[in-house]
Amino acid sequence: MLKSSRSRLVAFILFISLALRWGLILKGGQYFFSDEERYETSRTFAKLVLEGSPGEAFSQLFIAPEHLGFKIIGLIPAFIEQFTRASLALPALFFSLFSALNLYLIYRIARRAGAAEKESLTALILAAVSMSLLYFSRHLLPYDTALTFGLLGVYSALDEKPTFNSSFACGGWSFTCFITYNGYWSLAGIAILIHILRGNKNFGDLTRKGLITATGFILPAILLFLLASFAGTNLIADYRAFSATVSQGSFDEGWSLPFEYFWHAEHWLIILLILLSTYAIFSSRGKDKTINLWASAVIFIYLCLLIPSVLLHQFVVYGRLARQMIPFLVILSASGLENFMQEFSFGTKLAKILLAVVIVQAAWNYQASYALTYPREFAQKVQAEYPGFTFSEKRMTFGAPTLCQNSGYIAEYVKRFEVPPEPNPPIDGQLLLSAPHPDNFLPYQYEGYTYEQRQYLRELKPEMRFYKADAKFMSDSNPIWKTMKSCLVGEN
C-alpha cells in the first residue's frame, strides 16, 4: 500500500512538472536563441523526404553536423508538422518530454545507487523545483535531450551485476548524449568512468567493462562518421572547427560562472543544495561509497569546465554547461537530508520545513520565467492590436536595428541581442505597449555575455517598446527619424 501511494506521488510530481513545462511553452519564447534554428534542419529533411528527394535531405542533415543527434530526434516532430501544420509549440512540447523524463531518471538513479524510497523521492522533489532544469524546456535546444541520454548512461553504469548489455548500453547512451549536444561530453565521460571504475574486484573486470563500454560508444560513432562521409562531411574536422567557435564570453570566468549562474537561477535553493551536499560528505566521513561517487561526479564536471576554459582557453563556460552538475547535486543533497533526519531528533520536522521553503522558492523562481515576453510574441501582440503596423521577422535577428518605424509607429528593442545594445535617443510620441526584454532574465545573461556586458545590461534594463510617433518627430528635418530603418524589410 505504501509503495503504491509513493508511486502515485512520483507520477503526480512528474505530471505537474510536465504541465508546468507545457504551460511555459504555450506562452511562447521559441526561436529566441539563434541556436534553436538548428531545428530547421529537421524540418527541411522531413519536407525533402516527402517531396521525394531523400538524397538531398540526407545531405542537408550533415551540412552543419554539430549537435547532430538533436536534429535526428527532431525529425519526429518535424514529420508530424508535415501532416498537421507548422508550429513552434509542437516541437517544443515534444522535446519537453525529455525535460520531465530527466526528473524521473534522477529518481531512478538514486534508487539504483542504493537510496531508500524516501531519499529518492526527496531527490525527485529537489530536481522538480530546480529552475535550471525547467526554463530551457520552452526553447528548441538540445540540452535537456542530451541530459536524458547522459542520465540513461549513468543509470546503465550503476548496474550492480554488469553484463555485456549494460556495459554496451552505457557506451551507447554516452555517445548519444555527446552527439545530441557536444557540450555535454563531460556528462558522457562521467557515465563511462562510473561504469568502468565502480565495484571492480580485479583488473580483468575493469578491462572487460572498459572494452565493452568503449565498443558501445565507438560502433555508433563509426557508423555516423561513415554516413557523414557519404554526404561529403568530415565529422571530426567539423567538430574540431566548431569547438573553436565556443568563445563568446570570457574564458577567465570558467571557475566562477557556475556559482553566479546557479545563484541567479536557483537563489536560496542552490545554497541549500550545497549545504546538504557538504553535510552528506562530512557526515559519512568518507565511508559511504555512494556519497563519494556523487561528490566525485560534481567535482569531475566542474573540473571539466574549469580546466579547458581558465587554463587551456579552449571554450567558454555557459550556464547550460554548468547545469550538468544539478542531477548529481540533488541526489547528494537528498543523502545529506536523509542523514540529517537520522542523526537529529528534530531532523524530520526541519526537513519538512526545508522542503516547504524550497517549494515556495521554486514558485518565486518560476514566476520570473512565466512572466517573460519575447520579441516574436511582442511583435505579434502589437500587430494584432494595431493592424496598420507591419513588422518583418528579420528585424528580430542579430544585426537588425534596435529602432525601426512603419506607418507612423516605432518599435524599439524588439529583437535578439548578440551584444548589449547602445541606449537609443528619446522618442517623441505616445508609448502604446512595453515589456521588459527577456535578456533582463538573469540566467539568460550567462549564455555568452561577459561580466562587463552583464553589468551593463543590468544598468540599461532594456525594454521592448511600441510608440505612436508625434507628427513633429516624423519630420524630415529630424535626423533620428530620417535615418531610422523601416520595420518592413525591403523598405528604406
Provide the residue count of the chain: 492
If asked whether residues 317 and 384 sit together in one domain, one would say no
Range of the structural domain that residue 207 is part of: 101-370
Residue 427, Cβ neighbours under 10 Å: how many?
20
| Predicted local distance difference test score (pLDDT) of residue 322 | 98
How would you write the pLDDT of the chain (492 residues) with one tens digit per residue? 467 788 999 999 999 999 999 999 999 999 999 999 999 999 999 999 999 999 899 888 888 778 999 999 999 999 999 999 889 999 999 999 999 999 999 999 999 999 999 999 999 999 999 999 999 999 999 999 999 999 999 999 999 888 999 999 999 999 999 999 999 999 999 999 999 998 776 888 889 999 999 999 999 999 998 988 887 888 888 787 777 777 899 999 999 999 999 999 999 999 999 999 999 999 988 889 999 999 999 999 999 999 999 999 999 999 999 999 999 999 999 999 999 999 988 888 998 999 899 999 999 999 999 999 999 999 999 999 999 999 999 999 888 999 999 999 999 999 999 999 999 999 999 999 999 999 999 999 999 999 999 999 999 999 999 999 999 999 989 999 999 999 998 754
If asked whether residues 438 and 301 sit together in one domain, one would say no
| Closest to 288 in 3D by CA, of 231, 331, 325 | 331
The CB-based long-range contact list for 417-426 (8 Å cut-off, 24+ gap) reads: 417/462, 419/449, 419/453, 420/449, 420/453, 420/456, 420/457, 420/460, 420/462, 421/460, 421/462, 423/460, 425/480
| Predicted local distance difference test score (pLDDT) of residue 244 | 75
Q: Is residue 306 part of a domain?
A: yes
| Predicted local distance difference test score (pLDDT) of residue 312 | 95
If asked whether residues 391 and 336 sit together in one domain, one would say no
Residues 6 or more apart in contact with residue 67 via CB below 8 angstroms: 38, 142, 146, 179, 180, 181, 182
Q: What is the pTM of this model?
A: 0.95
If asked whether residues 383 and 308 sit together in one domain, one would say no
If asked whether residues 240 and 356 sit together in one domain, one would say yes
If asked whether residues 349 and 400 sit together in one domain, one would say no
| Predicted local distance difference test score (pLDDT) of residue 140 | 98
| Predicted local distance difference test score (pLDDT) of residue 227 | 87
Is residue 486 exposed (0-12), middle (13-18) or buried (19+ Cβ within 10 Å)? middle
If asked whether residues 172 and 319 sit together in one domain, one would say yes
Q: What does the alpha-carbon distance between residue 133 and residue 159 come to, in Å, rounded to a whole number? A: 25
If asked whether residues 328 and 382 sit together in one domain, one would say no
If asked whether residues 187 and 227 sit together in one domain, one would say yes
Q: Are 440 and 374 in contact (CB under 8 A)?
A: no
Q: Are 321 and 183 in contact (CB under 8 A)?
A: yes
Q: Is residue 473 part of a domain?
A: yes
If asked whether residues 289 and 264 sit together in one domain, one would say yes
Q: Is residue 32 part of a domain?
A: no
